[in-house]
Structure 1
Amino acid sequence: MRIGILSDTHGLLRPEALDFLRGCDHIVHGGDIGGLEIIDALSALAPLTVVRGNNDGGAWAEAVPETALLEAGGLRLFVIHDLAQLRIDPVAAGIRVVVSGHSHRSRAEQRGPVLYLNPGSAGPRRFRLPVSVAELRIDGEAIVPRIVELGA
């Protein structure tokens, strides 16, 4: 199973990001989406899980949850925009992957049985950080993360 992961599009869905996400079994957006048109474009590619970021406001964003729990490939994933606001114990909840955004810094870090994955920012370049997306390959209990810089 291949899960495409992006965050912090801030209203800009780059063609390179769309190309990367084509063929995914599921897509996760970690917040700061920037508008309903981003959700529509992503959901046309694959089933989609999204969470609201701190910059997502207005009527369209009211229907977007702040967190999401996803079952994929037999594993549980928890999605939240700002990891600092995580109020659950992922290990106790049986979660294998926590997906976040907010920092615009990509990172894949294994902490015990839980993988923490931030795909970085797929939208406008900010803070001189690379523009990036990520994927998870799930095969049984094996989880393989990959972060990809766009335009690199």
Structure 2
Amino acid sequence: MKRLTNIFLMIKIGLLSDTHSHFDPRFIDLFADCDEIWHAGDIGDIKVLDKLQQLKETRAVYGNIDDAIIRRSIKENERFMIEGVDVWITHIGGYPGKYDRRVKAELFNNPPDLFIAGHSHILKVIYDEKLQCLHINPGAAGISGFHAVRTAVRFNLDNGKVKDLEIIELENKRFGGK
């Protein structure tokens, strides 16, 4: 009789970053079908984190604008295994070819399957061939910053793979956005 040791179930993740104290009420519907919400830093106000945690289980890291209250509540880096995927979330991490010096050595010594960083306000999904690692920056979901379009991401983790990635455009700040 075969023993099953690594049984994984598909879970849906809602990913955002750089809310800068703004909780968009659309998060309620956008993340309704998600199992977890992940926030890649620059939350801005602990109330935003509290509201996300009321919606779903939330994993978050602090960013460079986050105050002492937020920094006491969450860590700078989160590294964990979930559904067979090794995940690392940080705020300032850079991207393939331009990783931040703070994370570069660890990335090359022990690359995760999925590396998530915020900070740039620029949505990026890049597979790093050298590290065999998927990099995601969900852009910025807040109303503060230079970004023209507010964004977030949803995806599934299924049997050790990232699948069904969706880019969510919340609004174009130049054309009627706030």
134, 138, 144: which one aligns with 1:115? 134
Q: Which amino acid aligns with 1:105?
A: I
Aligned to 1:147: 167
Pair 1:3-2:13 in alignment: yes
Aligned to 1:15: 25
Aligned to 2:84: 74
Shift of 1:116: 0.4
Q: Which amino acid aligns with 1:5?
A: L
Q: What's the RMSD between the two structures over aligned residues?
A: 1.8
Shift of 1:82: 0.6
Contact residue 62 and residue 70 of structure 2 kept, 8 A:
no
Q: Greater CA deviation, 32-41 or 87-96? A: 87-96
Q: 1:15 to 1:110 in 2, by over 3 A?
A: same
Higher gyration radius (CA) = 2
Q: Greater CA deviation, 88-97 or 58-67? A: 88-97
What 5-or-longer segments of structure 2 have no aligned partner?
1-10, 94-99, 173-178
- Deviating beyond 6 angstroms after TM superposition, the runs of 4 or more aligned structure 1 residues are none
19, 37, 50: which one aligns with 1:40? 50
Q: Greater CA deviation, 81-90 or 27-36? A: 81-90
TM-score, normalised relative to structure 2? 0.78
107, 112, 116: which one aligns with 1:95? 112
TM-score, normalised relative to structure 1? 0.90
Aligned to 1:137: 156
Q: Greater CA deviation, 1-10 or 125-134? A: 125-134
Aligned residues: 152
- Post-superposition Cα deviations, 1:66-103, rounded to whole Å, max 9, x if no partner, equal 10013221211100001123244446435110111000
Q: How does 1:47-58 map to 2 (within 5 A)?
A: 47-58=57-68
Contact residue 66 and residue 81 of structure 1 kept, 8 A:
yes
